[in-house]
Amino acid sequence: MPIVDFWFEFASSYTYMAAMRVEAAAAERNVGIRWRPFLLGPIFASQGWNTSPFNLWPARGKYMWRDIARACAEYDLPFKRPPEFPQNSLIAARLALIGVTEGWVVPFAKAVYNAEFGEGRDISRLDSLGAILGSLGLDAASLLTRARTDDAIKSRLKASTEEAQSLGIFGSPSFVTEDNELFWGNDRLERALIWARQEA
Amino acid sequence: MPIVDFWFEFASSYTYMAAMRVEAAAAERNVGIRWRPFLLGPIFASQGWNTSPFNLWPARGKYMWRDIARACAEYDLPFKRPPEFPQNSLIAARLALIGVTEGWVVPFAKAVYNAEFGEGRDISRLDSLGAILGSLGLDAASLLTRARTDDAIKSRLKASTEEAQSLGIFGSPSFVTEDNELFWGNDRLERALIWARQEA
């Protein structure tokens, strides 16, 4: 089965839709998905930006919120614009890396995105993340401590982000096939899967 | 019949694909298209940029060329990356405005985009534009003189660009329905047409 790496940044609004759609779309085409958390902040910073281009470029940002509201209606996904954007996704991304190793990244990532963009909640808060972990039957206190203090996890997230940048990734969601073909954006999900299938 | 305004900047690579697809896609859905030339340069300048974001943001630009090559292959459109990007589209845009009034904007605009991105030619050159006008059976010398000197045409292009910006347009192609719903990007063409049909 061909594998596509799904690179996701929790602060990204368009990635909410991709995260909710990727499993069914991949299963339909018999493609495997590897969930790859990373941070866009350091990639934006190397470009000289201190926030999302949606904030630096107001007309683009205004359009983004409208475009996402329309697309969520089309996909039948709940949508509530969170009061703050982008949200600090550092702890959520470290937790997701633990989830990759321990096998719960998919329900965790989907629950985080749903809280953030389906319910408009603040996923930078430890209590929000703890509630999500608890709802998945996980030991929230222990996981949050590891996510805040474990040097190995911190290093893994840095390495993942550097790997993303070296692959040419500049935004989220990004999809990378085994032959290193990059597809960017929720609306490129299907093309990435078709590419992976054709090259397999 | 509902009408969608198709806002196009000749320097825009993604707009090449939209310009080649828009007529058939609109006819299929029984939607009328109004071709609206404008300039992105003044809109980018008001954002503090002196060139295309694809140049200011190199990883995004590198991806754009790859994404367009893939998409053109999918649409069965010729694609040749022009040596210079973005090209100065001022005279081409003024000619297109004359073409709107005189009824030849569609074949002219498609020929310009094809020269630029299908054949990799320089459409800022007056001889390139003259050859295109001539191939359409138009009086190239007279039209080029008007495009370079006619104050009414200069003012119309400025007014169109200001109108685009007031509609929230920040990129090309952009599609605006009669109820002022904005859709941006070649891959939003179909959604704009569906929206226009539903609201009609």
Distance set, CA A157 to CA A92, A103, A113, A154 (Å)? 11, 17, 19, 5
CA gap B33, B26 in Å, rounded:
7
CA gap B195, B184 in Å, rounded:
13
**Are B93 and B37 a contacting pair, CB within 8 Å?**
yes
Give the model's pLDDT for residue A170. 96
Residues B15-42: tens digit of each pLDDT: 999 999 999 999 999 999 999 999 999 9
Position B200 pLDDT exceeds 90: no
Task: Quote the mean pLDDT of chain A.
Answer: 97
In sequence order, which ranges of chain A are alpha helices (DSSP H)?
13-28, 41-46, 53-56, 58-75, 90-102, 105-113, 126-135, 140-149, 151-166, 189-199
Give the model's pLDDT for residue A96. 98
pTM tops 0.90, yes or no: yes
CA gap B63, B17 in Å, rounded:
16
DSSP for A110-161? HHHHIIIIIS---TTSHHHHHHHHHHTT--HHHHHHHHHH-HHHHHHHHHHH
**pLDDT tens by residue, chain A, 200 residues:** 999 999 999 999 999 999 999 999 999 999 999 999 999 999 999 988 888 989 888 999 999 999 999 999 999 999 999 999 999 999 999 999 999 999 999 999 999 999 999 999 999 999 999 999 999 999 999 999 999 999 999 999 999 999 999 999 999 999 999 999 999 999 999 999 999 999 76
Give the model's pLDDT for residue A56. 87
CA gap B21, B192 in Å, rounded:
13
Q: Which of B62, B170, B187 sits opposite A60 (nearest CB)?
A: B170
Give the model's pLDDT for residue A47. 87
CA gap B13, B24 in Å, rounded:
19
Q: Which of B63, B171, B183 sits opposite A168 (nearest CB)?
A: B63
Range B96-117 average pLDDT: 98
Share of chain B above pLDDT 90, in %: 93
* Contacts B187 to A, Cβ<8 Å: 187
Q: Does A17 touch chain B (CB under 8 A)?
A: no
* Residue B181 burial (C-beta neighbours within 10 Å; 0-12, 13-18, 19+): middle
Distance from CA of B168 to the nearest CA of A (A): 6
Task: Quote the mean pLDDT of chain B.
Answer: 97
Give the model's pLDDT for residue B69. 97
The residue with tokens 């958390």 is A37
* Contacts B169 to A, Cβ<8 Å: 59
**Are B79 and B115 a contacting pair, CB within 8 Å?**
no
Range B180-189 average pLDDT: 97
Q: Do B168 and A62 touch (CB under 8 A)?
A: yes
Q: Does A75 touch chain B (CB under 8 A)?
A: no
Range B82-88 average pLDDT: 95
Position B56 pLDDT exceeds 90: no
